[in-house]
Amino acid sequence: MFKLPFIYLFLGILAKSSAGQFYFPNEAAQVPNYGRCITPNRERALCIHLEDCKYLYGILTTTPLRDTDRLYLSRSQCGYTNGKVLICCPDRYRDTSPVTQAPPRPNVTTTNLLPLPGQCGNILSNRIYGGVKTKIDEFPWMALIEYTKAEGKKGHHCGGSLISTRYVVTASHCVNGKSLPSDWRLTGVRLGEWDTATNPDCEVDVRGMKDCAPPHLDVPVERTIPHPDYIPSSKNQVNDIALLRLGQQIEYTDFVRPICLPLDTNLRAATFDGITMDVAGWGKTEQLSASNLKLKAAVEGFRMEQCQQVYSSQEILLEETQMCAGGKEGVDSCRGDSGGPLIGLDTNKVNTYYFLAGVVSFGPTPCGLAGWPGVYTLVGKYVDWIQNTIEA
């Protein structure tokens, strides 16, 4: 087991000025705390010594420490005092009872055909990378949406996210949007793609070793399901979400794997203000094809009140089923696909996992303008619709 000072250094936690200490008599009894805080997944919590947050402390002292766990822990830091790291710890993580096994699975019904954390949202290679270009096995749920055009020509002009063996989530404007040419038909989905210029894809690591993926998988779409309340001509593009039912069941691999949906009650209600997330894709939209390589960019959740003010100048009224992220010059969902994922990070008592926080909907033209965040469909508001719509 690592010594604690080494662990703190490993997390990249820097010493900060001491926080003022508070005590809330009905919360975290006999545990000193340093005020209220908000976790990376927008739960209200208490800022306490890391050692007093039993579950997160247990993760930290696990060998080897997974990169996804390290990222969550570093984002949960809320201070540093008297040589000790403070962590933003929800009530459920202060439970001292050991976790011996995953929670029991409910009986299979049409509402739980979706994979759960442990089956979805994981990065099997145990790697987190910075920069714009993804690694060959990052975000294995990413999908390219195929359109068949005049004379049988095919092209990919939207993105999506695999959520189960039979379904992909994308934007409704990629299915029945007003900008889609009348002679285009959405006919398929490509999975397991990284570089659209090669097949199979290979990447050379720092040691000169070649890492290759299997050939990408082209799957026909059996049925397109735009949200019934989506209005293609609307300025605010509310309900811009759709499901694609695949023509066959998909077998999961290291390069084709689903992302989790925000099934947790806290995640369904979260607005992600100030939370850093990833948007990813090939930069393909209805009008633009920008990259052969799968790209990513880190964007921060934008307060809805501020976003409303920005878009009101264009007479666009956003609703509570939407969210905004980005707004920094040159960093936007232009690096992703229209219909592609906004990716959040969560942890429970069993797994740290990625979930689908948003779907790329629309933004300013040109994109990446300072002060103009992109607009996303807030997936947590549509979990019930998804669960009630999907079939075995």
| Structure tokens given for 341 | 């994922």
Q: Which residue among the candidates 164, 172, 291, 338 is catalytic per the annotation?
A: 338
CA 263, distance to chain mean position in Å, is 13
| Cβ burial 89-117 (10 Å sphere, 16+ → b, else e) | bbeebbeeeeeeeeeeeeeeeeeebbbbb
CA distance 112 to 286: 33
Pick from 237, 213, 199, 255: which is nearest to 321 by CA? Answer: 237
Catalytic annotation on 338?
yes
| Structure tokens given for 274 | 């100030």
CA 337, distance to chain mean position in Å, is 14
Catalytic annotation on 227?
no
Could you say which DSSP state residue 195 is in?
B
| Structure tokens given for 35 | 């005020």
Pick from 137, 100, 103, 136: which is nearest to 117 by CA? Answer: 103
Catalytic annotation on 74?
no
Handedness of CA 49, 51, 55, 60 (dihedral sign): positive
- The backbone torsions φ and ψ at residue 136, rounded to the nearest 5 degrees and listed phi first, read -65, -25
- The backbone torsions φ and ψ at residue 104, rounded to the nearest 5 degrees and listed phi first, read -65, 145
CA distance 367 to 360: 13
Q: Are 242 and 175 in contact (CB under 8 A)?
A: yes
Q: Kindly give, in sequence order, each residue whose CB lies less than 8 Å from that of residue 199, ignoring residues fewer than 6 positions away.
A: 215, 216
Q: Say which residue the tokens 């409910």 belong to.
A: 106
Q: Are 341 and 158 in contact (CB under 8 A)?
A: no
CA distance 390 to 51: 43
Q: Which residue among the candidates 49, 156, 173, 227 is catalytic per the annotation?
A: 173
* CA terminus-to-terminus distance, the chain: 45
Q: Which residue among the candidates 52, 137, 195, 240 is catalytic per the annotation?
A: 240
Strand partners, 168: 162, 244
Amino acid identity of residue 362, one-letter, is F
Residues annotated catalytic, as ranges = 173, 240, 338
